[in-house]
A and B are shown apart, each in its own frame.
Chain A
Amino acid sequence: MSLLEQEAAGVVMTPDNIRTKQLPIAVNLGVAAAALVVSAVVVLGTGIGNWVLVLVLGLVAYLVGLFFAASRVEGKRAAKNRTMQSLIYAACVLAVLPLASVVWTLVSKGFERLDGNFFSTSMNNISARDPQGGAYHAIIGTLEQVGIATLIAVPLGVLGAIYLVEYGRGRFANTVRFFVDVMTGIPSIVAGLFILSFWVLIVSPWFNDGNPRFSGFAASLALTVLMLPTIVRSTEEMLRLVPGPLREGSYALGVPQWKTILKVVLPTALPGIVTGVMLSIARAAGETAPVLLVAGGAAAINFDPFAGNQQSLALFVYQQAGDASRYAPARAWTAALTLVALVLILTIAAKLLARRNKLSR
């Protein structure tokens, strides 16, 4: 008798018994139904919760019941396997459920004002009794602010990451890496305050006859502060994943280091870098506080990001949601839907662009 057979008799199958019984699918479903019924009776009977609790409790009961049922039929090892498998599937569903719920809420509530008027007018001269009004100015603001922030943050972030991975040695690189980590944790309101005190109050008067002023560009700077550490860190991780022999293969052809980085390392890491950049853009597009602090928000259209107040979609949602007008909530929902759709479209476009290379599968 082998040591395994002695010590783990319930786990190891002996050579003369490699077949095993399987729990019939009907029993599996029966356990699930029974668990749901029991949990519904308990929860609704005692009145301690609604259908959400029924589902969660039912799930727990199902997993426990499944384990015992499977133990009887299939043995302990197989039962553990089956239960864990169900647990993983359940966790996956639970993780996606809130997301689906968010999307459904946005679509169902944002649908009401999803009209041409919303996308072609601003809130200029819209009173509390006016059902019209739209987010045109906010969309322009978001696109300009996030666009400028991306233009600044992506080159800086990617180059910084290249420095850290390919060139950075010693104390300076470690210091940079440390401060990037610290920057990752900066609350957005702090970034906004920094730009307010530095750019809006100190620098912007130089360009405006001594008077400080809000601008979309200031918002871009605040968003840049927020985007930079995310881009640096994600790009750094992606560049580190590029195998060393690939670089050496290029060096061995007499290709200089900068060209190796540009033509071999970066293209290999590109899909991952794009994902990191899109995450940071999505985060920046949803920021409210810094925009409120340094761009001020506006009711009218302002195409110039360098002068005067500008609105953004997130700020628009915040203001409309708190507005007394009975038409405002619908506008807030539609703006929120627009924001999510915008980020989604950008992400899809970027992914397609990064995959434009026909070779990557």
Chain B
Amino acid sequence: MAKRIEASNVSSYYGSFKAIDSVSMTVEPKTITALIGPSGCGKSTFLRSINRMHEVLPGARIEGRLTIDDQNIYDQDVDVTAVRRMIGMVFQRPNPFPTMSIYENAVAGLKLNGVKKKSLLDDAAEKSLRSANLWDEVKDRLDRPGAGLSGGQQQRLCIARTIAVEPQVVLMDEPCSALDPISTLAIEDLMFKLKDRFTIIIVTHNMQQAARVSDKTGFFSIDKTGDPGRLIEYDDTQKIFSNPSQKKTEDYITGRFG
């Protein structure tokens, strides 16, 4: 069920501002890919382009080709909701639905997409909460509000919510930046577990995290403010962190820049 993602010459715009310029990369199924780079270099914009979340903002548009198993998701006849059902997303700040309980949050994607049978929903809730390492902490209070959990728990609830709809790809936009080290570790463990089933792309500012969890790493950068972000280097994580081929990458990961 995991799928291959191929971006060729993808450029994203906010109105007339070009945020990323001509990014090309291939993400293999069942791998974890980390996107690193300084703030404002277009990592998140690129990530949001992959499940067509970029275009939610007014004036935002895309050029280039982005395929998932050889289907261009930006073709005219593509249903956006189908793309997003296939490519789930976890956001930087945990965003559980405030009017829903933990249980309802976990199965929100199923319920809102028309699954009605209680037994199916119950199974899916338990399965996804277990996958997200949250089940033991919340099983006795599934009817409590999702927003009442701690930050780390909320983020895992959002991950549970995302994987409950069984997407093929999971995008994570700095999922741990608002979390403490223990919650971060819990989510990193979770990513290893989920790797068997999903293709994961994660944006992170934490280079240790990128080095720990990812198979491949892409380094984004900008020359100066106002310029579009570019993909400088994309390679195996080991190679990027031990022997990068670009000077800029080396400067960034050794802390001399950015």
Contacts and interface: CB of A to CB of B under 8 A. Distances in A.
Contacts of B241: none
B81 A268 contact: no
A264 B58 contact: no
Contacts of B158: 249
B89 to A, nearest CB: 4
Contacts of A249: 91, 95-97, 158, 161
A174 to B, nearest CB: 14
Contact of B89 (A246, A252, A263, A357): A252
Contacts of B86: 254
Interface string B90-116: 010101111111000000110011000
A359 interface: yes
B175 to A, nearest CB: 13
B108 A250 contact: yes
B82 A254 contact: yes
A248 B53 contact: yes
Contacts of B97: 246, 249-250, 264, 268
Contacts of B93: 245
A254 B91 CA distance: 15
A107 to B, nearest CB: 38
Contacts of A359: 98-101, 144-145
The interface size bin for chain B is: 20 to 34
Nearest to A259: B112
A256 B85 CA distance: 10
Given A359-B100, A359-B145, A253 B109 contact: yes
B85 A253 contact: yes
Contacts of B84: 251-254
A241 to B, nearest CB: 12
A213 to B, nearest CB: 46
A65 interface: no
Contacts of B101: 359
B165 A254 contact: yes
Interface in A240-293: 243-256, 259-260, 263-264, 267-268, 270
A249 B167 CA distance: 14
B99 A255 contact: no
Interface residues of A, number: 27
- The binding surface of chain A is classed by DSSP as helix
Contacts of A46: none
Interface string B134-149: 0000000001110000
Interface string B46-81: 000001010010100000000000000000000001
Contact of A253 (B56, B108, B144): B108
B71 to A, nearest CB: 16
Contact of A255 (B98, B100, B113, B167): B113
A254 B81 contact: yes
B108 A251 contact: no
A246 B56 CA distance: 12
B99 A252 contact: no
A252 B81 contact: no
A270 to B, nearest CB: 8
Contacts of B217: none
Interface in A123-144: none
A359 B82 CA distance: 31
Contact of B99 (A169, A243, A357): A357
A250 B100 CA distance: 12
B162 interface: yes
A253 B95 contact: no
A57 B124 CA distance: 69
Nearest to B99: A267
Given A169-B58, A263-B112, A253 B99 contact: no
A101 interface: no
Nearest to B82: A254
Contacts of A251: 53, 56, 81, 84
A258 B194 CA distance: 31
B88 interface: yes
B53 A252 contact: yes
Given A253-B85, A254-B85, A267-B99, A248 B91 contact: yes
A5 B199 CA distance: 60
Nearest to B143: A358
Contacts of B95: 243, 245-246, 248-249
Interface string B161-174: 11001010000000
Contacts of A263: 112
Contact of A254 (B56, B58, B113, B144): B113
A166 to B, nearest CB: 11
Nearest to A242: B98
A268 B96 CA distance: 12
- Among B82, B95, B101, B161, the most chain A Cβ lie within 10 Å of the Cβ of B95
11 contacts: A169-B58, A248-B95, A250-B108, A250-B112, A252-B89, A253-B112, A253-B165, A254-B113, A259-B112, A259-B113, A264-B112
Closest 6 CB pairs of A and B: A254-B85, A253-B109, A252-B89, A267-B99, A359-B145, A249-B95
Given A255-B112, A255-B113, 20 more contacts: A243-B95, A245-B95, A246-B95, A248-B53, A248-B56, A248-B91, A249-B95, A249-B96, A249-B158, A253-B109, A253-B161, A254-B81, A254-B83, A254-B113, A255-B81, A255-B108, A259-B112, A259-B113, A264-B97, A267-B99
Interface of B: 51, 53, 56, 58, 81-86, 88-89, 91, 93, 95-101, 108-109, 112-113, 143-145, 158, 161-162, 165, 167
